[in-house]
Amino acid sequence: MITVYGIPNCDSVKRARAWLTEQGLAYQFHDFKKAGVPPEALAAWCEQLGWERVLNRAGTTWRKLDEATRNGVVDKASAQALLLTQASAIKRPVLQWADGRLSIGFSAELFSSHL
């Protein structure tokens, strides 16, 4: 089973979910806002994808953080601590594919390569 992690009103998450549905692929959706960020999953994302890719420094949530908080994110541990409390600062969507591989962000080409 494919798991899509994200926020339902995020445009990238909407496009990813629509693409999966169009392909006839079953998936489950994990809503960060309602269910929070699973700490074990976040640790795996940071380990496999790199915390720099998981942290969305281009997003509104990141830009709204005070400078001291942004400057305090210097490694995997500090990034994970922030992302557990500021789920909107995670680049979205994060997908765990049926075979266990991970991807972050959406593009039809990227998703097709995981089929």
At position 106, the amino acid (one-letter code) is F
Q: What is the largest CA-CA distance in the chain?
A: 45
Q: Which of 2, 7, 10, 84 is labelled catalytic?
A: 10
102-104 sheet: strands from edge to edge: 27-31, 2-6, 94-96, 102-104
The CB density around residue 110, as the number of other CB atoms within 10 Å, is 13
In angstroms, the CA 46 to CA 37 distance is 13
10 tagged catalytic:
yes
In angstroms, the CA 46 to CA 108 distance is 23
Catalytic residues: 10
